[in-house]
């Protein structure tokens, strides 16, 4: 019996439409979140992530409505995030139907937020999103969708996040995001080895072999991708069959 490696499609939304970006900029419309969610649920996705990339206050009710509509379609776990700054923000997202929440910038600015969320919802509901970029010789935690750097080192932050009560890390390589040249294997391996909690690798996926590499050489527990699934180039079913043939343990869709 083995814990399956997870394949997680991600819907980056501007509150009500799915958009796709290259290196976090240049957004294009990629469809309806509810339709995509239903398709991925049926295709054998292990979880679904929905992010509000605009995360503006006045669009919040629209995003919550998106979560509600998406949750209705799923019988797999749903993670939602983007702009969660407080316990109150998190409550609204969980109440709308998310099983887990991701926190990013707000947790870097005030790490105790992780403990507060973990105390209220349990560690299994708190996903610490880390956007990392290689600056010089070290992986640096980035904020504001990868545009602003911090003095924080990614592996140290991952360790701290786990101690504070996060249950998972969603690790995005800012260097690789949108490039489609493959996951950042050294980054993923470095964080996965250090962190006592599961790591979801993100950024750069295009080919099935990229996923095999991030599980085998990057020690990722899960892998996330967006646009390659949205435009139908890569089916989740086909990807999982490829991984199974490569002896990566996956849950094959029935």
Partner 1 sequence: MKVTLIDYGAGNLPSVERALLRLGVPTERADTANGLAAASAVILPGVGHYGALIRALDENGLRDALLASIQRGVAFLGICLGLQALYETSEEAPELRGLKLFPGSVRMLAGAVKLPHMGWNQVRRVPGGSRLLEGIEDGAFFYFAHSFAAIHQSGGHPNGVLATEIRATCEYGAEFVAVAEKGNVLAVQFHPEKSGEAGQSVLRNFVRLAA
d(CA 184, CA 249): 21
Sign of CA dihedral 191, 130, 50, 166: positive
Q: Which residues contact 138 (CB under 8 A, 6 or more apart)?
A: 153, 154
In the complex, what is the shortest distance from the CB of residue 222 to partner 1, in angstroms, rounded to a whole number? 7
Q: Please state whether 180 falls in left (phi above 0), alpha (psi between -120 and 50) or beta.
A: left
In the complex, what is the shortest distance from the CB of residue 232 to partner 1, in angstroms, rounded to a whole number? 21
At residue 47, what are phi and psi to the nearest 5 degrees?
A: -160, 175
Site for partner 1 in 227-246 (CB under 8 A): none
In the complex, what is the shortest distance from the CB of residue 167 to partner 1, in angstroms, rounded to a whole number? 5
Which residue shows structure tokens 């105390």?
Answer: 119
Q: Does 216 bind partner 1 (CB under 8 A)?
A: no
Q: Which is nearer to partner 1, 19 or 236 (CB)?
A: 236
Q: Does 2 bind partner 1 (CB under 8 A)?
A: yes
Q: Does 31 bind partner 1 (CB under 8 A)?
A: no
The pair of three-digit structure tokens given for residue 225, joined into one six-digit string: 């991708």
Q: Which is nearer to partner 1, 189 or 207 (CB)?
A: 189
Site for partner 1 in 75-134 (CB under 8 A): 75-77, 94-95, 97, 99, 119-125
Binding residues with partner 1: total (CB under 8 A): 33
d(CA 209, CA 229): 15
Q: Does 254 bind partner 1 (CB under 8 A)?
A: yes
- Tell me if residue 131 is catalytic: yes
d(CA 138, CA 70): 38
Site for partner 1 in 179-208 (CB under 8 A): 195-198
Give me the catalytic one of 12, 89, 177, 184. 12
Q: Does 9 bind partner 1 (CB under 8 A)?
A: no
Q: Which is nearer to partner 1, 85 or 91 (CB)?
A: 91
Q: Which residues contact 232 (CB under 8 A, 6 or more apart)?
A: none
Say if CB 117 and CB 142 are below 8 A apart.
Answer: no
Residue of the chain from 14, 52, 175, 221 that contacts partner 1 (CB under 8 A): 221
d(CA 170, CA 12): 14
Catalytic residues: 12, 131
The residues binding partner 1 (CB under 8 A) are: 1-4, 6, 41, 46, 71-72, 75-77, 94-95, 97, 99, 119-125, 167-168, 195-198, 221-222, 251, 254
């Amino acid at each position: 019996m083995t814990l399956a490696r997870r394949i997680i499609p991600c819907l980056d939304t501007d509150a009500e439409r799915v958009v796709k970006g290259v290196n976090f900029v240049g957004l294009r419309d990629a469809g309806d979140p509810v339709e995509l969610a239903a398709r991925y649920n049926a295709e054998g996705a292990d979880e679904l992530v929905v992010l509000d990339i605009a995360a503006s206050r006045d669009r919040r009710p629209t995003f919550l409505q998106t979560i509600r509509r998406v949750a209705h379609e799923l019988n797999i776990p749903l993670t939602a995030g983007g702009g969660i700054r407080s316990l109150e923000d998190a409550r609204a997202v969980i109440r709308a139907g998310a099983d887990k929440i991701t926190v990013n910038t707000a947790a870097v600015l005030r790490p105790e937020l992780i403990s507060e969320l973990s105390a209220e919802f349990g560690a299994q509901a708190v996903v610490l999103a880390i956007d990392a970029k290689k600056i010089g010789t070290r992986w640096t935690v980035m904020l504001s969708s990868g545009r602003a750097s911090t003095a924080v080192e990614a592996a140290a932050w991952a360790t701290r996040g786990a101690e504070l009560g996060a249950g998972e890390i969603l690790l995005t390589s800012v260097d690789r995001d949108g490039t489609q040249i493959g996951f950042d294997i050294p980054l993923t391996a470095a964080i996965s080895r250090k962190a006592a909690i599961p790591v979801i690798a993100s950024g750069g996926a295009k080919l099935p072999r990229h996923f095999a590499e991030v599980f085998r050489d990057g020690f990722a527990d899960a892998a996330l991708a967006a646009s390659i699934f949205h435009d139908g180039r890569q089916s989740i079913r086909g990807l999982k069959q490829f991984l199974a043939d490569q002896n990566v343990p996956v849950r094959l869709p029935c």
